[in-house]
Amino acid sequence: MTKDLLADENFPLSVIKRLVAAGYDVSSVALDCPGISDSAVLELACRTNRRLLTFDADFGDLVFFQGCPPPDAILYVRIHPVIPEEVLKAVLRALPETPSAHFAVVTSKGTQLRPFPQPEG
């Protein structure tokens, strides 16, 4: 499992800092390239071999219905309201539970996994 992560623009910086302290290499869209499109975020995650952390369900649509190439994994966090400690705890639990080539829906109660579609051909 990779320890390299890409945090989407909406991901709390306080959680990113704690993930770095836990040994993860985390790049932040908000700090490195704010305002890029969702498809550019996916491309960046693929190019840099990073798992994507996001609160944005649109990434599932891009991968499952629009055929965009997925990164190693997408962790879609569904915790609202966003409480940084709760998000951190759920992400730290979900990262080792999420195999490559999967979309993970991460909640306070657990993680649901869905494999990425297989490329045709």
- Domain that residue 50 falls in: 4-115
- Distance from C-alpha of 66 to C-alpha of 31, rounded to nearest angstrom: 27
**Is the per-residue pLDDT at 66 higher than 80?**
yes
In a domain, 120, yes or no: no
pLDDT score for 2: 61
Q: Where are the alpha helices (DSSP H) in 12-57?
A: 13-21, 29-32, 38-47
Average pLDDT over residues 40-68: 96
The tally of domains found in the chain comes to 1
Query: What are the tens digits of pLDDT across the range 81-102?
Result: 999 999 999 999 999 999 999 9
Within-domain flag for 121 = no
